[in-house]
Structure 1
Amino acid sequence: MAEDFQVAVDSGAGDGVVTGTAAGPPDGDTVLFLHGWPQSRHSWADTLDLAAADGHRALAIDLPGIGDSASARTDGSKVALAVVVGEVLAAVHARRPVLVGTDVGGMTTYAALRSVPGLRAAVIMDVAVPGVEPWPSVVANPHIWHFAFHTVPDLPETMVGGREAPYFDYFFDILSADRGAVSPRSREASVAAYATHERLAAGFDFYRTFGADEKANTAAAQIPVTTPLLYLRGEHEWGDIDVYDKGFRAAGITDLTTGIIDGSGHYAADENPEAVWRLVSGFLATH
Structure 2
Amino acid sequence: MFKHLDITVHDRHLHVVTAGKQPAPAILLLHGYPQSWLAFEDLMKLLSKDYYVLAADLPGIGGSEDIGQYDKKTLATHLAALIISLGLSRVTVAGHDIGGMIAYAMLRQFPHLLDAAIIMSTAIPGVEPWEEIKRNPYIWHFAYFATPALPEAMIPGHEQLLCNYFYDTLAFNKYAVDDEKRQHYTRVYSNTNALNASLGWYRAFAGDEKEPAPEPTVALPVLYLRGDQEPGDLSTYTEGLKNSGCTHVTGVQISKSGHFTPEENPAGVAHAIHTFLGKNKPI
Per the shorter chain, which TM-score range?
Answer: over 0.9
Shift of residue 27, structure 1, vs aligned partner: 1.8
- Comparing 112-121 with 136-145, greater Cα deviation is found at 112-121
Q: Distance in 2 between matches of 1:46 and 1:149?
A: 32
The corresponding residue for 2:52 is 57
The answer as to 2:171 corresponding to 1:176 is yes
Q: Distance in 2 between matches of 1:186 and 1:88?
A: 26
Q: Distance in 2 between matches of 1:196 and 1:162?
A: 11
Q: Distance in 1 between matches of 2:230 and 2:91?
A: 28
Q: Distance in 2 between matches of 1:221 and 1:244?
A: 21
Shift of residue 250, structure 1, vs aligned partner: 0.8
Of 162, 165, 183, which residue of structure 1 is paired with 2:160? Answer: 165
Shift of residue 178, structure 1, vs aligned partner: 2.3
The answer as to 2:155 corresponding to 1:133 is no
The answer as to 2:262 corresponding to 1:269 is yes
The answer as to 2:49 corresponding to 1:84 is no
Of 38, 41, 45, which residue of structure 1 is paired with 2:37? Answer: 41
The corresponding residue for 1:5 is 5
Change (3 A) 1:74 1:286: farther
Q: Distance in 1 between matches of 2:180 and 2:263?
A: 10
Q: Distance in 1 between matches of 2:238 and 2:15?
A: 33
The answer as to 2:83 corresponding to 1:97 is no
The answer as to 2:218 corresponding to 1:213 is no
Q: Secondary structure at the match of 1:26?
A: coil
Shift of residue 181, structure 1, vs aligned partner: 2.1
Q: Distance in 1 between matches of 2:275 and 2:189?
A: 34
Q: CA offsets, 1:124-172, max 9 Å, x none?
A: 0000101000000100001111100000122212211121111100000
- Residue 221 of structure 1 contacts residue 251 of structure 1 at CA under 8 Å; is this kept in 2? no
Q: Distance in 2 between matches of 1:133 and 1:82?
A: 20
Q: Which residues in structure 2 correspond to 1:217-232 (within 5 Å)?
A: 219-220=212-213, 223-232=216-225
Q: Which residues in structure 2 correspond to 1:232-247 (within 5 Å)?
A: 232-247=225-240
Q: Secondary structure at the match of 1:279?
A: helix
Q: Distance in 2 between matches of 1:257 and 1:248?
A: 10
The answer as to 2:282 corresponding to 1:286 is no
Q: Secondary structure at the match of 1:265?
A: coil
Q: Distance in 2 between matches of 1:260 and 1:148?
A: 28
Shift of residue 222, structure 1, vs aligned partner: 5.5
Q: Distance in 1 between matches of 2:254 and 2:161?
A: 27
Shift of residue 75, structure 1, vs aligned partner: 1.4
Amino acid of the residue matched to residue 65 of structure 1?
Answer: G
Give me the CA root mean square deviation.
1.2
Q: CA offsets, 1:197-243, max 9 Å, x none?
A: 22111101000000010000xx2285201111000101111111111
Q: Which runs of 5+ in 2 are unaligned?
A: none
The corresponding residue for 1:186 is 181
Q: Distance in 2 between matches of 1:147 and 1:240?
A: 20
TM-score normalized with structure 2 length: 0.96
Shift of residue 258, structure 1, vs aligned partner: 0.5
Q: CA offsets, 1:56-88, max 9 Å, x none?
A: 11100000111111x242411100110011011
Q: Secondary structure at the match of 1:120?
A: strand
The corresponding residue for 1:20 is 16
Amino acid of the residue matched to residue 286 of structure 1?
Answer: K
- Comparing 129-138 with 186-195, greater Cα deviation is found at 186-195
Change (3 A) 1:30 1:147: same
Shift of residue 95, structure 1, vs aligned partner: 4.0
Q: Which runs of 5+ in 1 are unaligned?
A: none
The corresponding residue for 1:30 is 26
The answer as to 2:244 corresponding to 1:251 is yes
Amino acid of the residue matched to residue 63 of structure 2?
Answer: D
Amino acid of the residue matched to residue 62 of structure 1?
Answer: D
